[in-house]
Structures are given as structure tokens and as C-alpha cells.
Amino acid sequence: MESRHCPFCTLPAARIVAQNDYALWIYDGFPVSLGHSLIIPKRHIGSFFDASTCERAALLGLLDQAKATVDAEHQPNGYNIGINDGEAAGQTVPHLHLHLIPRFLGDAADPRGGVRWVIPGKADYWSGR
């Protein structure tokens, strides 16, 4: 990791749940659900599209590991998996990270559309509004 001012480059070791050669897994510091996890490359890069093939494989490997652990610990009914890539997409920490957000029946009144709700006015295509 490289940047002294990046919160993901300066994570305390105690926050790291698991890691491999290219990436690490932590629980989100501001979780939206039980088990909300972040998968982060060790190299300081901002965009998924700047990640190498090895980094992408490492990220997805930890994503699988995090999902298996969260399944065992919390038994969610589904997941949202997301990347905010760029300021216009809502990225607030300029270090690539994947969100694994466990979802539970009843945690939202109508969860249809999932990640489509990043632009609320265009999310609902099913009701004929």
C-alpha cells in the first residue's frame, strides 16, 4: 500500500479479516447491514479498471471468502455487490473497494431494482410509472 493519507492504505492490522497477495477484506466501518464487507486491493489504485488481472482475481477470491463467512455468521437472504468507481458514481474514498452488502428479507419495503436505485428516478421500470 502506498498513500499515507488514504484510509485504506493505513488500515490497522486488527481491522483486516483476511488477505491474500494482492487484496484484503475488512468489515465496513459504517455498515448498512450485518456483515457488510469491503474487499480492497493492497495497491493504491482508484478504479477497478486500473486493477491488474491478478488483482481482480485476488479481489474476487476474497469476495467469495467473505460471502462464505457472512453466510455462516448471518444467513442473509441475498447480497448487493457494488463498486463506486469515480466521483460521479459516488466514490468517496479514492482507493478501489468492492462492497459486499448482505440483504435480509424485510430490510427494505421493496428491494426490487437493487443497485438500479443509484439513480432513483430511473430505477423503477416495472410499475409503469
Q: Which residues does the annotation mark as catalytic?
A: 97
- Neighbour-count burial of 2, counting CB atoms closer than 10 A to its CB (0-12 exposed, 13-18 middle, 19+ buried): exposed
In one-letter notation, the amino acid at residue 61 is: G
Cβ-proximal residues to 101 (8 Å cutoff; 6+ apart), any chain: 32, 33, 36, 79, 80, 81, 82
Q: Is 15 helix (H, G, I), strand (E, B) or coil?
A: helix
Residue identified by cell 455498515 is: 31
Cβ-proximal residues to 61 (8 Å cutoff; 6+ apart), any chain: 20, 23
